[in-house]
Structure 1
Amino acid sequence: MDGKTPETGKKKKSLLIFSCICAVGICVLIAYIVNILTPLDRILDYRVQVKAQEGGALEITYQYRWKVLNDSKEGPLTWVSLGIPNSRCELLGYTGAISGLKNGFYGDGLIKFELDRAYKKGEVAEFGFTIRQEDMLCRNKKAGGLPFYDFMPGWFNEIAVEHYLFVWEDGTYVMETNADRKEGGFYVWEGELKEGERRHMKVYCDKETFRDANMVEWAPVSDSPGEKKTLDPAAIIFILLCTGYIGYQAAWGKDWYANGRGFWGRGRRSGGHGGHGGCACACAGCACACACAGGGRAGCSKKDFYYTAEEPSLTEGGAH
Structure 2
Amino acid sequence: MRIFPTFAAFCTAASMAVASPEFWAFEWPDTNFEKTTVESWVEILSGGPPKDGIPALDDPDFMPVGDKAGLEGREPVITLEIAGQIPRAYPIRYLTWHEIVNDQVGDIPVAVTFCPLCNSGITFDRRTAQGTLSFGVSGKLRNADMIMYDRETESWWQQAIGEAIVGDLTGTELDTLPSWMESWEVFAARNPEGLVMVEPDFPRRYGANPDVHYDSSYRPFLYSGEMPPHDIPALARVVRVGDRAWPLTRLSEAGRLTEAGVTLTWAAGQASALDTTRLSQGRDVGNVRVRDAAGDDIAHDVMFAFAFHAFWPDGTWMLGN
**Superposition TM-score tier, normalisation by shorter sequence:** under 0.3
Bigger-Rg structure (1/2)? 1
TM-score using structure 2 length: 0.25
TM-score using structure 1 length: 0.25
Structure with a larger share of its residues in helix: 1
> Larger RCO: Structure 1 or Structure 2 (Cα < 8 Å, ≥ 6 residues apart)?
1
